[in-house]
Structure 1
Amino acid sequence: MPLIDGLTTLWDKLLSAQPAPPPLLVLITAAVALAVVATRVPWRVARNAVTIAHEGGHALAALLTGRKLRGVRLHSDTSGLTLSAGRPTGPGMVLTLLAGYIAPSLIGLAGGWLLAGNRITLLLWIAVALLLAMLVLIRNVFGVLSLLVTGGVVLAVSWYASPQVQAAFAWTSVWFLLFGGVRPVFELQRVRSRGRMPESDADQLARLTPFPALFWVAVFALVNLAVLVGGALLLAGPILSDAGLTL
């Protein structure tokens, strides 16, 4: 049957492995992603993707811990807000608050794992699916536009771009999440030190636990730095293979 044959072809395309990228592409995409994170104007624009991952982490943790999700807002200043209902204290609330700052890095690590197996198409389609799922939760116009633009770019690359462009886009995106997960933690502490974020995730965690806010900032930083190292090792597979090394 044509429908079944089409679904089988699509399934095979999703699960099939693409050719491993040349080591030079891995290095170039890492340099591009690092440059975006390290420079002011590109980071200001691209940080919206990190905010999407951050708020998505809050939303997923809220759902997994049995809280009732009220919605997500994304703002043009790259801030965001996830509203959930449930007990104001306890493990569920702690995990929901904890998830935000580590979510971009963990998503990057998952992406690195897929790219280590050269599952580029699968990675891009999972990204589109997650963005569509999050779109249902958005409660403001900018948030809807942000997700539509981001999802549209990923979908267009996965559907129309050549395998080489898809590989470059996928590796750059995952590198960006790994690097981009670290910078907001240091930005958080810098703003906190000026007394401008009394309701930050770290400060809310401090009120719910015996540990001070600085402890939670350190947890965010250590987790994201460790994930960056692990993700970099996964993404560096083609370089290591070219050098005759294995993980």
Structure 2
Amino acid sequence: MDSTAATSLATVWDEVFGSQPDPDTWVVVATMVAALAVIVPHPVWRLSRNAITIAHEGGHGLVALLTGRSLSGIRLHSDTSGLTVSRGKPTGLGMILTAASGYTAPPLLGLGGAALLAAGHITALLWLATLLLVVMLVMIRNAYGALTVLVTGGTFVAVSWLAGPQVQAAFAYAVVWFLLLGGVRPAFELQAKRSRGGAGDSDADQLSRLTHIPAGLWLFLFHAVSLCSLLAGANWLLNL
């Protein structure tokens, strides 16, 4: 490797894994407000929830692979529902962890992102998110799902390569706020559906059948993970 190539590689390494300065406090607060603006209004949420579904189904898929299951594919639907199919033992710890990872994935990803931002690793967060989306795209098995992941991944690539440091920082903080705040709402939506007698095959109900633990307790776990992640993540983002 010649010196020019080595220098270029070192520069890229420093840009990705080095630390960047924290944005001003008003930027952090503004991105939180922007995230709330696409989460709270129901008409907007019907569109933005697709991003939460990507994280939800990606969580199922990642944990399935980590627990030794065979991942058959992931489908994302226009009604913001999704389906992850894995093969392996239909019971046991691997199946339990896979089923439990959907509702917990978005807030935990947000918490991990908040930790990276608190450490100043803005560029690393953007590149890592892009890598995860590329890996997920390989497992998508329907056109709408592929389009959704491509658009999302393309946005990350465009910001990572074309935007300046301030725009990158604002975008990264907005994404993490969205995962933290948006990760709270699905558990409440599931609770509302179950109270009306719906969602009989939800993740909580599947976990109940697998563990003989009431679905309500699994729903409580989803709430606990999302709310605790939000509190801890907000503490890091706001530098309290």
Is residue 89 of structure 2 the alignment partner of residue 87 of structure 1? yes
Name which of 196, 202, 205 aligns with 1:200: 202
Q: Matched residue of 1:19: which SS? A: coil
Aligned residues: 238
| CA deviation map 1:165-193 (0-9, x unaligned) | 11111111100000011100000111122
Letter in 1 for 2:135: A
Is residue 109 of structure 2 the alignment partner of residue 107 of structure 1? yes
In structure 1, the partner of 2:187 is: 185
Whole-Å Cα distance in 1 between the matches of residues 237 and 22 of structure 2? 11
Name which of 227, 230, 235 aligns with 1:228: 230
In structure 1, the partner of 2:67 is: 65
Q: Tell me the C-alpha RMSD between the 2 structures.
A: 0.9
Instruction: State the 1:9 CA deviation.
Output: 1.2
Instruction: State the 1:196 CA deviation.
Output: 2.2
In structure 2, the partner of 1:24 is: 26
Whole-Å Cα distance in 2 between the matches of residues 3 and 148 of structure 1? 30
Is residue 121 of structure 2 the alignment partner of residue 124 of structure 1? no
Name which of 52, 55, 58 aligns with 2:57: 55
Q: Matched residue of 1:69: which SS? A: strand
Whole-Å Cα distance in 2 between the matches of residues 182 and 203 of structure 1? 19
| CA deviation map 1:143-167 (0-9, x unaligned) | 1101100000011011111111111
Q: TM-score if structure 2 supplies the norm length?
A: 0.97
Whole-Å Cα distance in 2 between the matches of residues 180 and 84 of structure 1? 26
Whole-Å Cα distance in 1 between the matches of residues 71 and 5 of structure 2? 37
Q: Matched residue of 1:84: which SS? A: strand
Instruction: State the 1:197 CA deviation.
Output: 1.2
In structure 2, the partner of 1:34 is: 36
Whole-Å Cα distance in 1 between the matches of residues 120 and 151 of structure 2? 25
Whole-Å Cα distance in 2 between the matches of residues 41 and 5 of structure 1? 49
In structure 1, the partner of 2:174 is: 172
Letter in 1 for 2:215: A
Letter in 1 for 2:173: W
Instruction: State the 1:4 CA deviation.
Output: 2.5
Identical amino acids, percent of aligned pairs: 58
Whole-Å Cα distance in 2 between the matches of residues 147 and 34 of structure 1? 22
Q: Matched residue of 1:118: which SS? A: coil
Q: Which ranges of structure 1 fall in alignment gaps of 5 or more residues?
A: 241-247
| CA deviation map 1:51-105 (0-9, x unaligned) | 0000011001111111111010011111100000111111111100000000000
**Poorly superposed stretches of 4+, deviation over 2 Å:** 2-5
